[in-house]
Structure 1
């Protein structure tokens, strides 16, 4: 297939667009009034094999290292189907639907049947994500993790603050997976940060994103929030990430990762996220 057909663009007018690469159904751009909201590394690789560094990769069925296959599972490194091409709704918003189901490759790593539908709606200042995971098996339960690995573009991560984490316990992956409780009302980032916060509220606000604005994250059926920035030492170890890019991004990720989800045969799980430029 030609490279041009591997990208789907939702265009709402007024320079508000969302671009999805079918490789991993990765959202690689979200522009509001022509301002890019997502970070994609200048060194990101678009070879249709490796994950794309930045934007919003789709993490399934595993978060982190995986005994059966690639880190963070296979959903971010295989081609998805465009189930429904971008279509303008009566509201003026634009939606598209993507899907992924088990195939020979996924079964060779992880012998389970599944079907994912991924619906994106581009509104004036919002991007809506609706995810459904269905277990079509008649006998086998489906156990998995799910995460939206969102990279936000920021002018200087040291000036960002994240709300909605106070009082939550978190696993600190930079400190031997020790569990702590967050005591800060707002969380700032000034060092290598890799944390999985548990049972987080449905809303976070990140201050000082593009143009000094705020970004609101609303999430449903995603009990965990991952916060990540590689800082300078880790950035140097990532071949597809510029050594000097870490100040310009922060990952605040909605997911179901601290405990696996289990779907009984014939049942479905739904989760959603709304990103809003305030």
Structure 2
């Protein structure tokens, strides 16, 4: 199926395998048995499993296996735009391009690699990309699997141009849940948001937590750096910690839209919620040679320990 690529630590293994289209995937493992799988198509984290082998990310069973279209699920990288505006494809082109393993990445802070199994990926624009988005850039992604099973993604965008450019960005994170009706999202209380179901009108969140009873698509603005997603039935909480990503997208398509989506099962909306660390309201502008970094870490804890997730800030 594949071949070993490298081992950065005697206990932390990384393996390189191929998918059904012959596209390389990187599998990270830790000694406790947790794993993460990253496709070089899109720099896309397509699987994240805990040490019991339970899948923590949602992926549709109706996956389009034909490249280069991104699969529905996991954590796609949305760059240089989020949403559908202008001449670019929805959520930008990065998630549909073939990335390469970066064999000589610039250094990151030691806490972003020490004791972790990780891989560095790199995307540069093709001639075709430069026709639709005429800006020279380097987009680097480090995917880390910690000793505790935590998943972290660190992205850096550098302007290789002579002129400034602006971009939006999101980690479009599909979290696996037991039943969307039993899910609560905490940490966004009193935040302003754009409601994409109301022509992006701006509102202020009134609830003490976000719950789901119908289609939901909001962009929460200038949000806290720690968000919790509580799955009552599984007694499991996802804690998302972010840096350089001021906004949070919360999305569930619900029943009607799911039936209209070719790559999502009619009932699969019940098993997923997207909670994305993002830069949307105020795009990043980089001058020549400047670099931006955004970081997302996701950890999973028993809900009984999550009465005050501020401890995880």
TM-score by length of structure 2 reads 0.84
Structure 2 residue 168 is the aligned partner of structure 1 residue 145 = yes
User: Pick from 223, 228, 238: which aligns with 1:205?
Assistant: 228
User: Pick from 25, 29, 32: which aligns with 1:14?
Assistant: 32
Whether the 8 Å CA contact 1:54–1:151 is kept in 2: the answer is yes
Count of aligned pairs? 274
Structure 2 residue 155 is the aligned partner of structure 1 residue 131 = yes
Equivalents in 1 of 2:47, 2:103: separation in Å? 19
Cα distance, 1:90–1:29 mapped onto 2, change above 3 Å:
closer
Equivalents in 2 of 1:99, 1:162: separation in Å? 32
Report deviation, 1:40: 0.4
Aligned to 1:252: 275
- Counterparts of 1:94-133 in structure 2, within 5 Å, are 94-123=117-146, 124-133=148-157
Structure 2 residue 46 is the aligned partner of structure 1 residue 28 = yes
Aligned to 1:50: 69
Structure 2 unmatched ranges of 5 or more: 1-17, 105-111, 302-313
TM-score by length of structure 1 reads 0.94
Equivalents in 1 of 2:120, 2:167: separation in Å? 22
Equivalents in 1 of 2:251, 2:28: separation in Å? 28
Cα distance, 1:90–1:226 mapped onto 2, change above 3 Å:
closer
Taking CA–CA contacts closer than 8 Å with sequence separation of 6 or more, which of the two structures ends up with the larger relative contact order?
A: 1
Aligned to 1:168: 191
RMSD between aligned residues: 1.8
- Counterparts of 1:66-85 in structure 2, within 5 Å, are 66-84=85-103
3-state SS, counterpart of residue 37 of structure 1: coil
Equivalents in 2 of 1:183, 1:110: separation in Å? 39
Report deviation, 1:69: 2.1
- Counterparts of 1:78-93 in structure 2, within 5 Å, are 78-84=97-103, 92-93=115-116
